[in-house]
Amino acid sequence: MTAAGTNAPSARESELLEAAYTYALGHGLAELSLRPLAAAIGSSPRVLLYLFGSKEGLIRALLARARRDELDLVDRVGRRARGRGGDLASTALELWRWLADDAHRALLTLWAESYVRSLTEPQGPWAGFAEATVRDWLELLAGAQDAGERGSPEGVARRTLVLAVLRGALLDLLATGDVERTTAAVGLALSRAG
* CA atoms of 150 and 140, how far apart (whole Å): 11
pLDDT digits (tens, 9 = 90+) for 74-103: 778 777 766 666 688 888 998 899 899 998
157-to-20, 47, 186, 194 alpha-carbon distances in Å: 38, 47, 17, 12
Could you read off the pLDDT of 149-161 as tens digits, one per residue? 989 999 999 999 9
List of domains in the chain? 3-193 (1.10.357.10)
> 12 vs 47, 58, 70, CA distance in Å?
10, 14, 24
Distance of alpha carbon 1 from alpha carbon 183, whole angstroms: 41
**Is the pLDDT assigned to residue 3 strictly greater than 60?**
no
More confident residue, 87 or 19: 19
Give percent of the chain with pLDDT exceeding 70: 92
Q: How many residues does the chain have?
A: 194
pLDDT band at 167 (very low <50, low <70, confident <90, very high): very high
Are 34 and 48 within 8 A, CB to CB?
yes
Pick the closest to residue 150 from 60, 87, 80 (CA basis): 87
Arithmetic mean of pLDDT, 164-192: 96
The residue ranking higher by pLDDT, 86 or 42, is 42
Please give the pLDDT value at position 163: 96
- Highest-scoring range by mean pLDDT, 52-66, 89-103, 165-179: 165-179
Closest alpha carbon to 155 in 139, 170, 166, 167? 139
Query: What is the pLDDT at residue 77?
Result: 75
